[in-house]
Amino acid sequence: MNMSVGDEGVSAILLFGSRAREDNSRGSDTDLLLISPPDTTKHKSIGHLSMFFYPWEKLQADARDGDLFVCHIVREAKPVFDPLSQLDQLRSQFRLRTSYAREITHARDLGWFLDRHGGALTSDVVVRRMVWCIRTILIARLAERGRPAFAPLELAMAAPASAAELLAGRHQRRLDVAMRQRFRQYMMQEDVGPALPSEATIDDYRSLFLRTGNKVGMQTIERGLQNLGGDEDYYH
């Protein structure tokens, strides 16, 4: 990796996702968490390299709050550069929550938006977000039972058939009719229906996401409408 740790102010580099689990396949990204100075939370993608910059203070606060991204890190990450043993510190501070209702609601609201307005967005963004919605709901529910999982095979075992098929094709970037049908079937199987009526517009969903603090929902609208392919898929 052509990057100067000192110049970036990075105190640790952690490998996570499929390459850390060693269940990566062709097309899998290399996911890196870089612990960075305050106020530097951001995401950069270069080809199949995906870098997440997070300040140490935020990671600590999120660990104590049971954040699912940090859960992924403490469960599966491997240190590439970690002179201060910050990964071990995160592991000691992390606590699972008893409820991840907020995460499930955000994913469900975004899922219904994709079902109704996915045709107005770029195909790549829609496919990635469909998978994100399914993974987030499954991971959150497993976390509520005290046994979070992130590997695709483990999630597929906890998913209905429609969702398992979508997870199996998670590297596909072209949205087709079959994918839309399977995703709609999965959403229909959810316990709670859409938060907005069928005639709700994209602006109505933008207002919902803003009101509920659904950052991924807001990013999806902006990136999908602007034809941007970048993505911050936190639960690899």
pLDDT at 109: 98
pLDDT at 8: 59
CA 202 to the chain's CA centroid: 22
Q: Which domains does the chain have, with CATH numbers?
A: 10-93 (3.30.460.10), 101-225 (no CATH)
pTM equals: 0.87
Per-residue pLDDT reduced to its tens digit, 84-100: 999 999 999 999 999 99
Angle (CA) 48-143-52 rounded to 5° is: 25
For the record, the structure tokens of 131 come out as 């998978």
pLDDT at 209: 98
Residue of 184, 177, 141 whose CA lies nearest to 162: 184
Residues 6+ apart with CB under 8 A from 184: 115
Per-residue pLDDT reduced to its tens digit, 73-82: 999 999 999 9
- Are 86 and 12 in contact by the 8 Å Cβ rule? The answer is yes
The SS3 assignment for 168 reads: helix
CA distances, 16 to each of 63, 74, 151 (Å): 16, 9, 11
For the record, the structure tokens of 54 come out as 């997070």
For residue 192, the 8-state DSSP code is: S
Q: List average pLDDT for each run of 10 residues in the chain, which is 236 residues long.
A: 54 95 84 93 90 96 97 97 97 98 97 95 91 95 96 89 81 81 92 92 98 96 68 48
